Structure 1
Amino acid sequence: MKPPLIVPTSTVSRNAVVLIATIAAGAAVYWLRDILTPLAMAIFLLIMIDGLKRWIEHRTPVPERWAGLSALIVVILGFLASIAIIVQGARGFFTQASEDTVLLGPRLDQILADTYRLFDMPGAPTASELIGRIDVSTYFATVAMQAQGAVTGAIFVMIYLGFLMASQSGFRRKLVGMFPDRGSRSEAMGVFQRVRGGVEGYLWVQAVTGVLICAVAWVLMRAVGLQNAEFWTFVIFVVGFIPVLGGAVAGLAPPLAALVQFESYWPALILLIGLQAILFISGNFLQPRMQGDNQNIDPVVVLLSLALWGHLWGVVGMFLSTPLAVMAMAVLAEFKGSRWMAILLSGDGEPYADEDESPPPKAKRGRVNPPQSAGR
């Protein structure tokens, strides 16, 4: 009889501790989401400010001493303007919808009747019957609470961002204190650089492709005469940072608005085909060429990260799901025991963008570090 496989006790204990720690960390992230989501968004904005600062230093004639302040002003104004545009645009959209209620009801009735007739289904309900089944007061109360939460969250994000920027000056001293050895410190900085590079690359690709998509989408919406075209254009840009779901919202929301606005179905059909074509070209040709090795993540991991962080942190988690996956892959790739997880997260089995960027073997670092320490 073949003897049973003996698993070392240390391995079992280590795996059990890792599993318990993972569950505890997930529970803490969920329970502390009201505190952690503004902090995560502030760190995200801090990375944006740092990247924009370096871009201003190298690509513009702005003096180096003013680059940081310029980047800070641009990012903060952009963040506040985004919230203002969404709030004002949503309010204008609902106000216009409420003013056009007299015309909206018959149009919805016609859409329902045509839909039922298309599928040979008798007894099409009216819009008033469907609306009567919905608790409108509860829905609007939920929307109002969400809007209030967004404003409160924005205030906390600004507070966290201010404290993070104030503590940024002591980051290098903290790094020296945590890693006295010069080799370990260099390795830690390499991890930080890879994390920052991955997040900045993701932001750059999404921003550039978002601007291009929005430019074409705005021309298309204005051509068919869609109301609130500017608001829908900004919505398309913002949701572009949410993987999978962002494309669905961008490709379906304006056609649905056109379906209600126009008596004919042709404007909605034109918008549906045009936006889907734009998103297809961007997602299959433009973004892959721009991404290169900056977002070397498996598509399944992107989907799972979206579902996980969306469940834990809501909309903010959806926005941050891909950057958080990039950070996790970069950190996991640095340790021998967790590198296999980084390989699974990567798209091509190489967690590093380039093999030359990967850290040298432990044995080589062990032979180099002692002379450096002795030299000091």
Structure 2
Amino acid sequence: MEQKPFSENLGFRIILVSILIGLGIFFIIYFKDLLKPFVMAVMVWYLIKTIYNYIGKIKVMGRQLPRWLKGTLSLAIIFGSVQATINLIITNLSAIVANFSTYQATFDRFLIGLGESLGVVNITDQLQEQLNKLDLQGFLAGTLSSLSTTVGTIVIVVIYIIFLLLEEVAFSKKIDAIFPDRKKRQRIQEVLNEIYESTNKYITLKTGISILTGALSYVVLRLFGVDYAFLWAFLIFIFNYIPYIGSLIATLLPSIFAIVQFGSMWSFLWVFISVEIIQLIVGNYVEPKVMGKSLNLSPLVVVVALSFWGYVWDLLGMFLSVPITSIMLIVLAQFPATRNIAILLTENGNIENILIKKEEGP
């Protein structure tokens, strides 16, 4: 009986894939400070490209807009949105700081009432004693250091974005040079197109769902009279991109602030229950109908990916955990040696819709 070469054995493939995965994990952990700004730049570049394509569908007098105008509008929308977001956060935080004494007095009354109901005497004094033990000077120094690091990161990200936009023009030529064989080149292009379309569909639908969740939450918060309702609705919109735990965090933020503003546990419960009902309805009924099985990722895989990327790249990793895992699924499905891994990542074991068929014939 003829034996297969070692390179064709299942054991060899498992060992090879394990080594590659191990090297990949080492690489993204060890070089995370270098990779995170680049990944952020790729995100912004991707958004610019997506907006550029949408603007390209607009026609004036039967003609498409010129390339330079589409590019200018795309950049203006992205950086205008970033500027508006920064202004929103700064304005609301400044207002919270300006009214801090009022909120503190209300919260103190709440703590006193809570202490009396629990039989705890001088609860505010005990809390103040614990706060005095905190190293505020060290906290402020760390905050300033983080801010300076953030500014430096933003500069690096902007530089990366500029070079990505410049390199984009020559990217297709490089693909042609790397893969002179037409069939291989076409296959690579199809895989890249599948990645782009899958990611674009997920981000577009998720953005629409997040806007709906944020808008409904804004209405509820306004009805309850919670201050800075737009800020909380915006945070709900942002955190909705993080699977599972993001919606819980987003719901807790305005609910906790309701205690600070109104000084009542009932206000916390009413706000939390109302916003959580919105999250449950949108998450369990609207989102499945809109998104369907577009990603086909196993819920367990999503949770593991969320934990892993959150550990490796912090908050950025949590936001990117689903798109990164989806890209891995598409790539792994294209190679016989890793196809079984792709099947394990799916929810129903079906990878036919993402499998790029080899072209037959000469």
**Correspondence for 1:70:** 73
**Correspondence for 1:298:** 298
- Give the residue type in structure 1 aligned to 2:294: N
1:218-273 per-residue CA deviation (whole Å, 9 max, x = no partner) reads: 11112221112221121111111111221011111101100121033333222111
- With normalisation by structure 1, the TM-score equals 0.84
- Give the residue type in structure 1 aligned to 2:217: A
- Give the residue type in structure 2 aligned to 1:360: K
- Give the residue type in structure 1 aligned to 2:269: L
User: For residues 359-370 of structure 1, what are the structure 2 equivalents within 5 Å?
Assistant: 359-360=356-357, 365=359, 368=361
Counterparts of 2:84 and 2:285, CA distance in 1: 31
Counterparts of 1:60 and 1:300, CA distance in 2: 45
Counterparts of 1:322 and 1:219, CA distance in 2: 29
- Give the residue type in structure 2 aligned to 1:269: L
**Correspondence for 2:104:** 101
Structure 1 stretch displaced more, 224-233 or 58-67: 58-67
User: For residues 66-215 of structure 1, what are the structure 2 equivalents within 5 Å?
Assistant: 66-97=69-100, 100-114=103-117, 116=118, 125-126=123-124, 127-215=127-215
Counterparts of 1:112 and 1:339, CA distance in 2: 59
- Give the residue type in structure 2 aligned to 1:313: W
Counterparts of 1:60 and 1:78, CA distance in 2: 24
What is the CA distance between 1:325 and its match in structure 2? 0.8
CA shift in 2, pair 1:90/1:326, >3 Å: farther
Counterparts of 1:152 and 1:86, CA distance in 2: 20
8 Å Cα contact 1:187-1:359 kept in structure 2 = yes
- Give the residue type in structure 2 aligned to 1:184: K
Counterparts of 1:199 and 1:113, CA distance in 2: 53
Matching of residue 48 in structure 1 with residue 51 in structure 2? no
8 Å Cα contact 2:221-2:229 kept in structure 1 = yes
Counterparts of 1:143 and 1:7, CA distance in 2: 60
The alignment partner of 2:336 has SS state of coil
- Give the residue type in structure 2 aligned to 1:358: L
Counterparts of 2:142 and 2:244, CA distance in 1: 25
**Correspondence for 1:283:** 283
**Correspondence for 2:256:** 256
User: For residues 236-255 of structure 1, what are the structure 2 equivalents within 5 Å?
Assistant: 236-255=236-255
Superposition CA RMSD, Å: 2.6
Counterparts of 1:33 and 1:112, CA distance in 2: 46
CA shift in 2, pair 1:28/1:307, >3 Å: same
**Correspondence for 1:20:** 19
What is the CA distance between 1:196 and its match in structure 2? 0.8
1:165-220 per-residue CA deviation (whole Å, 9 max, x = no partner) reads: 01000011011011111111111111111111121112112211111111111111
1:83-102 per-residue CA deviation (whole Å, 9 max, x = no partner) reads: 44334434543453356434
- Give the residue type in structure 1 aligned to 2:36: T
The alignment partner of 1:359 has SS state of coil
The alignment partner of 2:172 has SS state of helix
8 Å Cα contact 1:47-1:196 kept in structure 2 = no
Counterparts of 1:280 and 1:318, CA distance in 2: 20
Percent of aligned pairs sharing the same letter = 27
What is the CA distance between 1:17 and its match in structure 2? 3.9
Structure 1 stretch displaced more, 177-186 or 258-267: 258-267
Counterparts of 1:332 and 1:136, CA distance in 2: 49
Counterparts of 1:133 and 1:125, CA distance in 2: 16
- Give the residue type in structure 2 aligned to 1:186: Q
- Give the residue type in structure 2 aligned to 1:105: D
Counterparts of 1:160 and 1:360, CA distance in 2: 34
Counterparts of 1:90 and 1:60, CA distance in 2: 41
1:273-292 per-residue CA deviation (whole Å, 9 max, x = no partner) reads: 11001000111111112213
Structure 1 stretch displaced more, 300-309 or 141-150: 141-150
Counterparts of 1:152 and 1:128, CA distance in 2: 36
8 Å Cα contact 1:334-1:359 kept in structure 2 = yes
The alignment partner of 2:260 has SS state of helix
Counterparts of 1:351 and 1:152, CA distance in 2: 42
Counterparts of 1:229 and 1:345, CA distance in 2: 39
8 Å Cα contact 1:221-1:229 kept in structure 2 = yes
CA shift in 2, pair 1:169/1:304, >3 Å: same
